[in-house]
Amino acid sequence: MKKAVCPGSFDPITNGHVDIIKRAAELFDEVTVLVVTNPDKHCVFSTEERCRLIEKAVEGIDGIKVDSFSGLLADYVKQNGINAIVKGIRSSSDFEYEFQMALANRSLAPEAETVFITADPQNMYVSSSLIRQIACFGGDVSDFVPKNIASEIEKRLK
């Protein structure tokens, strides 16, 4: 049984994230979408809100679990017998940042491989911060997040 984790802030989850999660689910037996603390970011949505939005966003995709963790990703990997850390890459700047984290995670938890999945071109410019800005100013986010969570995000941030 091959287990992968898709870690991130998911503040909130976007169509770009969902695409990577779906494609990871094709490659692995079990994929855990993990809301994990990024010490460099202050999140707008609480951990519970982010997990609930993810649960709704991944409805209907088989083999997905949602979890949260506060600590080193490498420790979660060790504690849960994870084989792979899956990350989506949109641009060369994503790659630089992710490559550094992949090397650090490889050193801390060599049992897990980091696997990069390239973003669908349609989602190259989609980010959680873009969605937060659009929703904050009363815009329509339904092209950028799953339809079943769009109005909840808009109401929450307006």
Active site residues: 17, 41, 90, 128
Nearer to ligand PNS, 32 or 105 (CB): 105
CB of 87 to ligand PNS, least distance (A): 8
CB of 143 to ligand PNS, least distance (A): 21
Nearer to ligand PNS, 41 or 56 (CB): 41
Does 57 bind ligand PNS (CB under 6 A)? Our answer is no
| Binder of ligand PNS out of 61, 89, 101, 117 (CB under 6 A) | 101
Q: Which stretch binds ligand PNS (CB under 6 A): 30-38, 50-58, 117-125, 142-150?
A: 30-38
3-state SS of the chain is CCEEEEEECCCCCCHHHHHHHHHHHHHCCEEEEEEECCCCCCCCCCHHHHHHHHHHHCCCCCCEEEEEECCCHHHHHHHCCCCEEEEEECCHHHHHHHHHHHHHHHHHCCCCEEEEEECCHHHCCCCHHHHHHHHHCCCCCCCCCCHHHHHHHHHHHC
Nearer to ligand PNS, 127 or 142 (CB): 127
CB of 138 to ligand PNS, least distance (A): 25
CB of 52 to ligand PNS, least distance (A): 17
Does 7 bind ligand PNS (CB under 6 A)? Our answer is yes
Residues 31-61 as b/e (b if ≥16 CB within 10 A, e otherwise) read bbbbbbbeeeeebbbebebbbebbeebbeee
| Residues near ligand PNS (CB under 6 A) | 7-9, 36-38, 41, 72-74, 101, 104-105
